[in-house]
Structures are given as C-alpha cells and as structure tokens.
Structure 1
C-alpha cells in the first residue's frame, strides 16, 4: 500500500497549502517545510525547490511579503507573511477546492449504482 500522496495530485494546490500555513502566522522556509510534513502525517513532503519557487510566485503576485528576521544567533532567516490579498486568494482557492472535490467524487465514484 502506498503511504504517501502523489506529487501530481498536490501540484496545483501548493500555493493554497502555503497560504493556509501563513494565515496561521508568519514563518520561514524550513519551519513551513516541516509544518507541511507534520500536517500530512508524514505522507507528503514538498521539495525545497518547489517551496521557494512558490514563495517567489506568491510574493510577485502580492499574496505574501518577505522580510529578514533579526536573529542574533546563526544565519538570518527570511520570513514570509500573508497579505490581505493572500487571505482572499486562500478563501477563493478553498472554495474552488471544495467544488472540485465534489465533482471529482462524482466522476470517480458515480455512475452505475452510484459506485456501490
């Protein structure tokens, strides 16, 4: 039995996943990376390259902002914070996901005897 989810199934939802995490509070890359693994109960790991590509895209689109932390120990961290536009984008993406989930459920399970 496969114990991890296919990257293909997640690919279109990376932005929404990141916005969901950031709507709970500002954070930095590695912490977000760990949070995704934790939220998926170790069934999904977002590759770092994908994570940072998504950060750049979300920032360019105005959904998040980045800033440098003021750590005195070790290297400085780049933090990310969701914007008001990012909150709106998250809510819209969540609605789109709920709608798509219903349709997919019908397409995958529906039909003769309603999938029984």
Structure 2
C-alpha cells in the first residue's frame, strides 16, 4: 500500500504541479486532477474544492489565464493556459524544490 503524503507537502506542491501540467498545454480542472492522480500513481488525489481556489489565486497572480471552450460533447468548459509570469514562477519553484531535495538527501547518510 502506498504511503499517504502529508497535507502540508500536498499544499506546497500544488502550484508547481499545476504550472508543470499547463506547461505541456492548456487544460481544465477535471483533467488537471486526473493528471495529478495518474502521474502520482494515485498518491495524490485532489478534490475540486482544493484545486479551484489555487487556480483562482494563480490567475490573480498572472501565472495563468482562463478562457471558455467547448468539450467534444459540446459542453462549455473553462480552460487554463500558462502565461509568461507562470513560466518564470515554475522555473523558480523547480530550482527551490531541487535545492530542498538536495539538502534533504544530504542528510540521508547520517
């Protein structure tokens, strides 16, 4: 059975994960949730109530932009696209996570 990731780590990783997903192309809420679940092999299972406040904050910070589009079914769907500020933020966050990972691994042998 897979271990459960602490809520504070889930919260801290949400923005860089969303930005990483959107770096690969525009997406919508449910698809973002599914990609996180798939790429984490089920370790992270986000709920709508957790995702949308983060997306709204990211949009307010000009990291992403939203627009309405139509699904294959013809239903309206809100899509999110990565902006230049979001790309810059993603690079900064990736470097910070790498630094933290390197620090954590430096204590592994002690």
Structure 1 or 2: more strand by fraction: 2
- TM > 0.5 fold call: yes
For residues 1-116 of structure 1, what are the structure 2 equivalents within 5 Å?
Answer: 2-71=2-71, 73-107=73-107, 109=108, 114-115=109-110
Q: Is the 8 A contact 2:26 2:82 kept in 1?
A: yes
Determine the C-alpha separation between the residues in 2 that align with 1:73 and 1:16: 30
Determine the C-alpha separation between the residues in 2 that align with 1:72 and 1:90: 30
Determine the C-alpha separation between the residues in 2 that align with 1:30 and 1:2: 23
Deviations 1:35-69 (A, max 9, x none): 00001011111221111011000000000000000
Determine the C-alpha separation between the residues in 1 that align with 2:28 and 2:47: 15
Q: Name the SS of the counterpart of 1:69 in structure 2.
A: strand
Deviations 1:67-89 (A, max 9, x none): 00034735310000000111111
Q: Alignment RMSD, CA only?
A: 1.7
Q: Is the 8 A contact 2:2 2:43 kept in 1?
A: no
Q: Name the SS of the counterpart of 1:53 in structure 2.
A: helix
Query: Structure 1 residues 76 and 99, CA, compared in 2 at 3 Å: closer, same or farther?
Result: same
Question: TM-score normalised to the size of structure 2?
Answer: 0.89
Q: Name the SS of the counterpart of 1:100 in structure 2.
A: helix
